[in-house]
């Protein structure tokens, strides 16, 4: 716990995947994909509790074998391709309140598809939201070599500007402003915002993560990239 704030971690692990069958338990460098997120959550000094929300009994069994807390199976209507993360954590919060009389200040969505996220990313994000009073903290990664002028669309095979005509105003790389995007590794939000179906709130802060911890594993090639980084960092099964 940090500054007496109760933080619930929810590892969201739907059974079906449109791109990689069995993705959440597929082996990655000698461990199931979900293992990396479970290990990071278990190492956190600030999470009050962390649970796995899944609709799939085999994922639940794997998660329990890895030491995770799986207090329920998610209803099937919340395990569809159209189901949202907000709906999933709203269900988890409501279930814990009704069945365990537990309430929380913040909820942290941890997707198994971010295996390179570490304990520090979790705890520093919790410290930031508690210290600043922000509505949310999001994992962010810098977009390399980004400039709005470089964005194009293709009309037939003709290159056309998406926003601004590049022409003679093309900038050197060192002149472009830094731009960032969410990396899907950290979604930390005040519970009252989640209850209002708002993932970000009015005051959303950034937890900036390096490229090598920001991989979002969604396609077969992503497993190969993740394995490369895990072996390089020494975070793999012997």
Residue 222 vs residues 12, 122, 146, 193: alpha-carbon distances, Å: 19, 22, 22, 32
The DSSP string of 100-128 is: H----SEEEEE-TT-TT--HHHHHHHHHH
Give the model's pLDDT for residue 141. Answer: 96
Give the model's pLDDT for residue 91. Answer: 97
Superfamily of domain 7-141+180-233: Spore Coat Polysaccharide Biosynthesis Protein SpsA; Chain A (3.90.550.10)
Residue 200 DSSP class: S
Give the model's pLDDT for residue 101. Answer: 97
Give the model's pLDDT for residue 163. Answer: 80
Residue 19 vs residues 22, 55, 216: alpha-carbon distances, Å: 9, 18, 13
Task: Record the pTM.
Answer: 0.89
Give the model's pLDDT for residue 9. Answer: 98
Residue in this structure with the two tokens 């814990």, named with its chain if needed: 96
Give the model's pLDDT for residue 153. Answer: 87
pLDDT tens profile 14-31:
988 777 888 999 999 999
Domain ranges of the chain: 7-141+180-233
| Residue stretches of the chain with pLDDT short of 50 | none
Spatial CB neighbours of 66, under 8 Å, sequence gap ≥ 6: 32, 34, 35, 38, 39
Give the model's pLDDT for residue 173. Answer: 53
């Amino acid at each position: 716990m940090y500054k007496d704030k109760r933080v619930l971690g929810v590892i969201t692990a739907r059974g079906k995947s449109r791109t990689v069958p069995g993705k959440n338990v597929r082996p990655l460098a000698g461990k199931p994909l979900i293992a990396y997120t479970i290990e990071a959550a278990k190492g956190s000094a600030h999470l009050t509790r962390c649970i796995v929300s899944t609709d799939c009994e085999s994922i639940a069994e794997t998660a329990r074998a890895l030491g995770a807390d799986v207090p329920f199976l998610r209803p099937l209507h919340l395990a569809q391709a159209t189901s949202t993360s907000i709906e999933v954590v709203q269900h988890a919060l409501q279930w814990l309140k009704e069945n365990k009389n537990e309430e929380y200040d913040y909820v942290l969505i941890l997707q198994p598809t971010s295996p390179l996220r570490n304990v520090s990313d979790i705890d520093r994000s919790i410290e930031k939201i508690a210290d600043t009073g922000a509505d949310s903290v999001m994992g962010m990664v810098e977009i390399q070599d980004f400039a709005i002028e470089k964005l194009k669309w293709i009309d037939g095979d003709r290159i056309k500007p998406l926003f601004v005509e590049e022409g003679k105003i093309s900038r050197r790389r060192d002149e472009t402003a830094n731009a960032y995007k969410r990396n899907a590794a950290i979604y930390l939000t005040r519970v009252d915002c989640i209850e209002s179906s708002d993932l970000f709130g009015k005051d959303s802060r950034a937890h900036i993560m390096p490229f090598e911890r920001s991989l979002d594993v969604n396609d077969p090639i992503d497993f190969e990239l993740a394995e490369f980084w895990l072996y390089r960092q020494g975070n793999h099964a012997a």
